[in-house]
Amino acid sequence: MQLDVNGRKREIAVPEDTPLLWVLRDELQLLGTKFGCGIAQCGACTVHVDGRPVRSCVTKVGTLGAAKITTIEGLAGRVPEAVQNAWREIDVPQCGYCQSGQVMSAVALLTKNAKPTEADVESAMRGNVCRCATYQRIRTAILNASEAMGD
């Protein structure tokens, strides 16, 4: 089957019920997307499908059709830049394991809602777990990125 990943058409030969996360990491060597729980409970595997944040560990590749898949490696543009700068400015990551999922969720939020309230941030990021408890810095960085993007 063919998948559209980070703007490139990729041919893959796997069963249709293979989780997207397996394809990204094992077939396409896109290792920025992480395996955490495998059951949609931690957010480490978050990627965008047509701009929406999805858990790639429970997304079967056979359901994707021509959807545009974006991983952390394929992020580009104003919102991702603002988020990545904000992350760097206050050194959000600790061990880093959860962070690509956090960034993917943050970019999806700010793309849809450039001026989120704290409650919006809380709600959008609720499914992304961080064992190092960087939650406060994540929230601050998202609000800083929103501020930096202006109106």
Report how far residue 129's alpha carbon sits from residue 11's, in angstroms, rounded to the nearest whole number: 32
Establish if 90 lies at the interface with ligand FES (CB under 6 A): no
Helix axes 78-89, 99-112, angle to 10 degrees: 130
**Position among 41, 85, 113, 117 found at the interface with ligand FES (CB under 6 A):** 41
Exposure string of 90-127, with b = 16+ CB inside 10 Å and e = fewer, is eebbeeebbbbbbbbbbbbbbbeeeebeeebbeebbee
Q: Among 3-11, 91-99, 113-121, 141-149, which window interacts with ligand FES (CB under 6 A)? A: 91-99
Establish if 42 lies at the interface with ligand FES (CB under 6 A): yes
Establish if 97 lies at the interface with ligand FES (CB under 6 A): yes
Q: Among 23-31, 69-77, 78-86, 128-136, which window interacts with ligand FES (CB under 6 A)? A: 128-136
Answer for the pair 72, 28: CB distance below 8 angstroms, yes or no. no
Strand order in the sheet with 68-70: 8-11, 2-5, 68-70, 46-49, 52-55
Establish if 48 lies at the interface with ligand FES (CB under 6 A): no
CB of 131 to ligand FES, least distance (A): 4
Establish if 36 lies at the interface with ligand FES (CB under 6 A): yes
CB of 75 to ligand FES, least distance (A): 18
> Which residues form the interface with ligand FES (CB under 6 A)?
35-38, 40-45, 55, 57, 93-99, 130-132, 134
